[in-house]
Amino acid sequence: MAEEAMDFESQNSHILSAVLKTTQAASKLAAKDLGYHKMLEPELAERLDRSSARLMDIASSLLDAAGAGFGKSVDGVGDLSARWKEIEEVNDTMFERTDTYLDMVLNNKSSTLEILSTTSAAQQQKLPQKRRLDPTIFKADIEKPQLQFKIKCDNFATIPFKPLLTTKPNAKVPLAESLQLAYPEKGAMPVYKNPYESEIVGAKFPKRLLKITKAIDPMPLDTTEPIWIDDRKGLKTMLKELKHEDAIAVDLEHHDLRSYIGLVCLMQISTRSHDFLIDTLKLRTELQVLNEVFTDPKIVKVFHGSRMDVIWLQRDLGLYLVCMFDTYYAARDLQLQGRSLAFLLDTYCGFLASKEYQMADWRIRPLTKEMAAYARCDTHFLLNIFDKLRNKLVAENKLESVLASSREECLRYYSSPTYDDENGTGAGGWLALREKFNILKTEDQPLLRMLTKWRDQVAREEDEGIRYVLSNRSILNIIRARPVTTAGVYRAVGSSVNELVQRRVEEIIKIVRESDAVQEPENEVTMTDAGEADEEEVAVDHNEPEREEYEARRFALAKQLFEENGSTSTSESKIKQSRKSRFWGNVL
């Protein structure tokens, strides 16, 4: 084992050295004026394009192999940048699993045998993966469901969010007394706190949780099908069954790309004998009846990573939780090598979860067969995992800690999103972007603040997600390039350009001009003899001499390329013709 560890360290050192050299070389290359050199040397441009295409293919293949669900649908560097958060999540999952198994092999931990013994051959299953995914399930072009909601979303709410509850099952405190404004912080805006606070705090967990019992195996996937619920009759039948259960597993599928505050699109509930998929878009105003089960302290509600689920249930459906068990906190307190649901599924059920549909557009109706199967598996095995984790917690005297953490999550309450332009806080605020992208130059600060404020305002007006309006990477590119033409903005935004950006592109240009007018009014360049002014999307240092030199070179090159016989006008036909070629398409 020692020899294996030494060999691993040697290989690790070699790989790390290679990665560092590659990163350093890439950084140096990015600092060069590649756009300028590509214009001068067509052969170099072709070689760079070929290399870029090859790297994109490799990146897409890696994402596809990792089960990211969108590897083959990545459309260029701009799309890759815009979806970087998704890629980070895939990387985190891979690194977590790699760390886990390397630790097991190198340290020969005693828990290895225990982990391997937690599954049986009968349990080991794998969700069939569809190798060629339909890209439309990730970028669906459908009418917004919220347009049909009876209660419209208010993105400009100036009053505290009032819970949607119309009745209060399993109440200790009457509903009217529960709906009282509170001031959580001195000087802060008032809020309606969780109306089930008294019930959550006063609830007693069932004593049966303290006993070590045999874990109940989940139903076989290949011999059962999920039950689709999208009408009152089906909801009533499901509710009747849930009332007789001692534990249920719950999960949600959420969408926030084409909605400012987001939408719960699907709810999954599993019992020991059935898996239910509930259409929360169609039954949005009908689901409060589930509070009869969700707030019943005799029925344990099992979630994994419930933090946002608790908020979404309140915001969209008026649902609250009493007596909840979060398997994430169980994994944390047991100090397992991994805490993700994928790790628990693999470790305790021998199930290799597919993450291909993690970023799918869950507004799609009807769901594809593959999407339904993916959603079902998030709760299908969760009660079995709950059994096994609870047994371990009882044996190690750690159950109370997990129940306390789960209870704290239940006490959370939803409040309308705010945006503080002064301090840069709130969803998509400039403060987080400044730190993430290291945007510290004084001349970049006004543009950063103006763009993030504009993005939040437009997202509220259009009821779109802030990432849909303008991704963080697009904001960074605009700050770097400072485009003052439509073409320049489109290039900075990349493949994330959508109809909204096209419709409001003049607003972005105006913001850039206003920002530059405040910081550097003398640096604005107008290329009247080359048509509209343009900006090259390169990593420009805003150092004054370098910027002037760069603009002078571009101006001279434009005159050389487009002027005829000393004329100061540009031939529109030649510009259109040149745009057809790959090389000039990149320039223009």
The domains of the chain are located at 1-31, 32-109, 112-126+144-184+198-410, 430-587
Between CA 77 and CA 495 the distance in angstroms is: 8
Crossing angle of helices 399-410 and 382-395, rounded to 10°: 130
In 62-210, at which residue ranges do the beta strands (DSSP E only) sit?
Answer: 125-126, 181-182, 191-192
pLDDT of residue 124: 52
Long-range contacts at 215-220 (CB < 8 A, ≥ 24 apart) = 215/384, 215/387, 215/388, 215/391, 216/272, 216/383, 216/384, 216/387, 217/122, 217/123, 217/384, 218/123, 218/349, 218/380, 218/381, 218/383, 218/384, 219/272, 219/273, 219/275, 219/380, 220/125
Given a contact cutoff of 8 angstroms between Cβ atoms, the answer to whether 282 and 230 are in contact is yes
pLDDT of residue 436: 85
Question: Given 3.30.420.10, 3.20.20.70, 3.90.930.12, 1.25.40.10, which CATH number is that of 112-126+144-184+198-410?
Answer: 3.30.420.10
Between CA 232 and CA 286 the distance in angstroms is: 8
In angstroms, the first-to-last Cα distance of the chain is 59
Which amino acid would we find at residue 307?
R
Between CA 465 and CA 342 the distance in angstroms is: 27
Q: Which residue has the tokens 């704290």?
A: 408
The segments of the chain whose pLDDT lies below 70 read 1-10, 12-13, 20, 27-40, 64-86, 88-136, 187, 518-588
pLDDT of residue 289: 98
Between CA 37 and CA 97 the distance in angstroms is: 43
Which amino acid would we find at residue 184?
P
Q: What is the dihedral of CA 297, 300, 303, 304, to 10 degrees?
A: 120
What sign does the dihedral 258-261-265-271 (CA atoms) show? positive
Task: Check if CATH label 1.10.150.80 holds for domain 430-587.
Answer: yes
Question: 281: which DSSP letter?
Answer: T
* Residue 202 CA, distance from chain mean position: 35
Bridge partners, 349 (sequence order): none
Query: What is the Cα gyration radius of the chain?
Result: 28
Given a contact cutoff of 8 angstroms between Cβ atoms, the answer to whether 35 and 551 are in contact is no
Between CA 515 and CA 458 the distance in angstroms is: 19
Given a contact cutoff of 8 angstroms between Cβ atoms, the answer to whether 99 and 163 are in contact is no
Bridge partners, 249 (sequence order): 270, 302
- CB atoms closer than 10 angstroms to residue 108: 11
Crossing angle of helices 472-481 and 445-462, rounded to 10°: 140
E strand or H helix at 44: helix 42-65
Phi-psi region of 366 (alpha: psi -120 to 50; beta: other; left: phi over 0): beta
Which pTM was predicted? 0.69
pLDDT of residue 73: 57
Which amino acid would we find at residue 257?
L
pLDDT of residue 332: 96
